[in-house]
Copies of this chain bind each other. A is one copy, B any other.
Amino acid sequence: MKRLILAACLGIGLVNTSSAQSQDSLMFRRISDEIMLHGTCYDNLRVLCKSVGHRLSGTKAAEKAVKWGEKAMREAGADRVYLQACDVPYWYRGKESLELNVNGQYKKVDALSLGNSDGTNGRTLEAPVVMVHNYEEFKALPEYAVRGKIVFFNYRFRQDYIFTFRGYGDAVKYRVNSPNVAAEKGVAAVLIRSMSTGEDDFPHTGSMHYKDSTRHIPEMAIGNKTADMLEEACKKGTVTAKMNSECKMMQKMVRSYNVIGEIKGTYSPERIITVGGHLDSWDVGEGAHDDGAGCVQSIEVIRAYKALGIRPKCTIRAVLFMNEENGLKGGQAYADSAIANKEKHVIAIETDAGGFSPRGIELEMSPQQKENVLKYKHLFLPYGVYDFSHGGGGADISPLHEKAKVPMAGLLPDSQRYFDVHHTNNDVFETVNHRELKLGAAVLSQFIWLVSQYELN
C-alpha cells in the first residue's frame, strides 16, 4: 500500500515507517475498542431478525428489509443514504410435504424444496426411491432402473475437510445440478441429502438451476438424520415416497433495491471502497448468519468511523445487496452502475461467511497488491486474524471484479459452524455471538481504514 504524504493533514502524523506502524496499531486499537464496547451491530441484527425475519427476494419481507436498511444506515450516520434499483426474480415456495414409506407405513419427514425449483404443482407424486451415493453410481445405472422413480442423491458433506467451504464446494453440485443429471434418464424427482455439517435433522434449502434443455423435475432436501434413516431403509429394501410441493418460479420480475450508505472521502472522494453483505435471505429461519451478519457489520463500519471522527481519504460505501441467493441481480446492478458512471473503485470487500470469529481476509488481486497488504499482516494478529492465503471475496462483488477488474477481498471467519445453520430454519439470531460478530466488524473496519490510508499500490 502506498503511504500518502498528506497523511499528516489527517492528524495521523506519519513521519517514518516505524512510527507510522505504531500509529496504525493505535488506530486498529481505537477501532476495536469502539466496536467491542459500543458497537450496535448486534442490536441491529436482533431488529432485522426479529422484526423482519427471513426475506427472500421479491417478497414483502424483502421490501421491509430495504426500509430497515435505509433507517439503519441513517442511524449509523452515513453522509448519504440511497437506494439502487434492480429487478429480481420471485420464487414461491407454497405448501410442501414429503412422506417416506419405510416400514409399510407412510410417515411425514422434514424436507425443503430447493430454491428456484418447480414442485409437483400441488399434486402428489408417489414413486419408489432409488439411492445413489454420487453421479458415478447414477451414471452406471440403466435407464429402466431409474425412469419414473425418485432418485436419492445421498452424497455426504466431507466432514474431514477442516475448512468447511471446501466441503461445501465439493458437495454443492448435488444441490444445484442433480435435477438436470437425473432428468436425462427420465427420473420423476430428486431427493438430496442436505449440504449440511449438522448433527441434526434440519433440511437446508439453497439455489438450484435448471438447464434450458432438460425437463424441470422437483428437488427436495432432507436433513442428515432423515438421510441416515433413509439410507438404512434403502439398503434393506424398497422405499417409496410421496412428494407434494407448490413451489415455482414466478414469471414476472419484481422491482427491488440495493441499500447504500456512504461516508464521503476527504482526500480522494472520487475513489471508492465498497464493503457489503446481502440483504436478502432464503425463506427459512431469520437469515442471521446468512447474511444479516454481513449487513450489520457493513453498517457498523459507517457507525464506528462516525463515532470515532475518522475521516477516510477515500469514500467508504456500505452496500446491502439484494438477491444474492437466487439471481445476483443486486450485485449485477451495482457493477453496471459503477461502469456506466465510470466510478473508480479501489477495492470491493464482502462479508458473507457468517458472523463468527474472524480468522483471515481473502484477497483476490494482483500478486503485487497482495504483497502490499501482507506488509500489514502483523497488525491484525492481536485480533485473531492470521490467514491471508485464500482467494475470493464474495458473490455480490464478483460482477464488479469480473467486469471492471476491481480488486476483491472477503472477511474470513471461523468456518466450523456455518454449514450447520446455513439456509435452515436454525439460522436465527440466537446462533450469533455478540463478541464474534463485533470482532468481525472491527477487523473489517480496520482493513478498510488501511486500504483508505495507503490504497493497494
Contact = CB atoms under 8 A, between A and B. Distances in A.
Interface stretch (A29-37, A243-251, A280-288, A448-456): A29-37
Contacts of A436: 416-417
Interface string A365-405: 00000000000000000111011000000000000000000
A345 B417 CA distance: 37
Interface string A417-457: 10010000000000001111001000000000000000000
Contacts of A337: none
B162 A36 contact: yes
A159 interface: yes
A160 B37 CA distance: 6
A359 B414 CA distance: 10
A113 interface: no
A321 interface: no
A435 B36 contact: no
Contact of A32 (B160, B197, B417): B160
Interface string A152-168: 00000001101010000
A172 to B, nearest CB: 18
Interface in A310-368: 357, 359
Contacts of A382: 162
A416 B416 CA distance: 14
Interface in A34-62: 36-37, 42
A199 interface: yes
Nearest to A382: B162
A36 B159 contact: yes
A159 B435 contact: yes
Interface centre among A33, A417, A434, A435 (most CB of B within 10 A): A435
A245 B417 CA distance: 40
A82 B312 CA distance: 64
Taking residues whose C-beta sits less than 8 angstroms from the other chain, chain A's interface range is 20 to 34
A199 B417 CA distance: 21
Contact of A414 (B32, B164, B414): B414
Interface in A240-265: none
A32 B162 contact: yes
A371 B359 CA distance: 25
A164 B435 CA distance: 10
A160 B417 contact: no
Contacts of A433: 416-417, 420
Contacts of A414: 357, 384, 414
A158 to B, nearest CB: 9
A162 B37 contact: no
A162 B383 contact: yes
Contacts of A36: 159-160, 162
A199 B42 contact: yes
A28 to B, nearest CB: 11
A315 B359 CA distance: 35
A231 to B, nearest CB: 16
A357 B433 CA distance: 14
Interface string A124-168: 000000000000000000000000000000000001101010000
A201 to B, nearest CB: 14
A289 B116 CA distance: 41
A162 B197 contact: no
Most chain B CB within a 10 A radius of its CB, from A197, A383, A387, A434 = A434
A33 B435 contact: no
A32 B420 CA distance: 19
Interface string A264-306: 0000000000000000000000000000000000000000000
A236 to B, nearest CB: 23
Contacts of A434: 199
20 contacts: A32-B162, A36-B160, A37-B160, A42-B199, A162-B382, A162-B383, A162-B384, A162-B439, A197-B435, A199-B434, A357-B357, A357-B414, A357-B416, A386-B386, A414-B414, A416-B433, A417-B433, A417-B435, A420-B433, A420-B435
Given A416-B433, A417-B436, 4 more contacts: A32-B160, A37-B159, A197-B435, A386-B386
